[in-house]
Homo-oligomer: A and B are copies of this chain.
Amino acid sequence: MDRVKTAIIGASGYSGEELVRLLLHHPQADLVAVTSRQYAGKTVAEIFPRFASHPTARELRFEEPDTWKLAKKSDVIFLALPHGVAAEYATALLDKGKRVIDLSADFRLSDADIYQEFYGQEHPAPQLLSEAVYGLPEIYREEIRNARLVASPGCYPTSILLPIIPLLRAGLIKHHGIIADSLSGISGAGRKVELPYLFVECNESVRPYGVPKHRHLSEIEQELSIAASTTVRIQFTPHLIPVNRGILSTIYLAPEKYFSSEKEASELNRQINQCFEEAYANETFVRLLGGATLPDTKNVVGTNSIEIAWRLDIRTGRLIVMSAEDSIVKGASGQAVQSLNILCGFDETAGLLP
C-alpha cells in the first residue's frame, strides 16, 4: 500500500487530538474523517486551534459517527472512545471489511470474564476477543501485520510491559513480587471535565489513586503471564503528577539469581544488559540508557520513544527498572500510528518522532 485513508471516531479527547496531530503530518496517511457528537459541524482548526496552520485542519469538519459513511471513505479507522462504546463501532466496521485500531480497553483482554471483573460490565463483543491483537509492536509486530483489529495498549501498561517482558522471557527475574509504581501526567486521565482535573486541584498536588486495583492491572497481568508462561500478579500504584504529559514507572523486581558481591552483581548486570540489548537494540522507539543516566519524562515528551534504565541494588538484592514515555504518544496515539504503519507495510517510523 502506498497511502492509506484514515478516520478517527471520537476525536475530541486528548488521545483523539494527538491522533489528529500525528495523522495530519503523516507522510502516507490521509485523515479523511473525524467524528464527535459534541463538535459535529465544526472544523478541526476551530476545536484545536493549534492545528490551524494545516490546510486539512481548516477544511475537515467533525461529523456524527456513522459507520456506513466512515467505512466508505476510509481504510483504517481509529477508535478513541470510552471502553464499552468502542466495541460496537469496531463490530460494525469489521463487518464492513475495514481494519480497526482501537485505543480503548475493549479488546485488550482475551478473557471476557476478566473484562467483566475489571470494567464492571459484560463484554459487548466477546466473539472478537480471540481475533484482536494486543498492539504493542515491540512484542507483537508480526501479529499486528495481518490484524483486522488492533487493541492498542494503555499508557501505564506500555510503560511497565516493555521493561519487564524481556526479563521475564529470559528467566532473569522472578515472576512474583513485582511492584510497579507509576507517575502520570494529567492528560492520562483523559479530557474529563470533572472537579479533580481542574487546574487548581492538580497544580501543586501529588496524589495516588486507584489503589490497589486499577483497571490497567488486567492487561498488565495478562501480558506478563504470557511472557512468564505462568500466572503473574503484580502490585501497581498509579499517581497523578502536575505535568501535561508523561509517565514515569519505577519497577521493583527480584532477580532469579542471588547476588551479594560486586562481582556477582557485575555479572548479573551484564546479563540484564545483554537481555535488553537483544530485545531492543534494533527497536527505534526504545532508548536503553547506559549506567550514567536515569529516565526523565521531559526527554520523551512529543516522541514515540520509551527510555529504560535499570540498577541492581546489592544492599537489597533487587533490580530496579525505570521507564519514561509520553503517555499520549508511545502510551496511546503514537503507538496506535506505529501499528497503522505495520498494518499498511509502511516504514514503522513514518510520521513518528523517535
A205 to B50: give the CA distance in the assembly, Å. 12
A49 to B200: give the CA distance in the assembly, Å. 15
Chain B positions within 8 Å of A193 at CB level: 193-195, 198
Task: Enumerate A218-242 residues with CB–CB distance to B below 8 Å.
Answer: 233-235, 237, 239, 241-242
Residue contact A242 to B203, C-beta cutoff 8 Å: yes
Residue contact B316 to A204, C-beta cutoff 8 Å: no
Chain B positions within 8 Å of A241 at CB level: 183, 206, 241-242
Chain B positions within 8 Å of A298 at CB level: 50, 201, 204-205, 207
Could you list 19 A-B pairs, sorted by A, with CB under 8 Å? A50-B301, A53-B284, A181-B237, A181-B250, A183-B183, A183-B239, A193-B193, A199-B199, A206-B297, A206-B324, A207-B298, A208-B295, A211-B294, A233-B315, A235-B316, A237-B250, A237-B320, A239-B248, A252-B252
Task: Enumerate A170-216 residues with CB–CB distance to B below 8 Å.
Answer: 179, 181, 183, 185-187, 191-195, 197-209, 211-213
Chain A residues within CB distance 8 Å of chain B: 14, 25, 49-50, 52-54, 179, 181, 183, 185-187, 191-195, 197-209, 211-213, 233-235, 237, 239, 241-246, 248, 250, 252, 284-285, 287, 289, 293-303, 305, 307, 311-313, 315-316, 318, 320, 322, 324, 353-354
User: Which residue on B lies nearest to A194, using beta carbons?
Assistant: B193
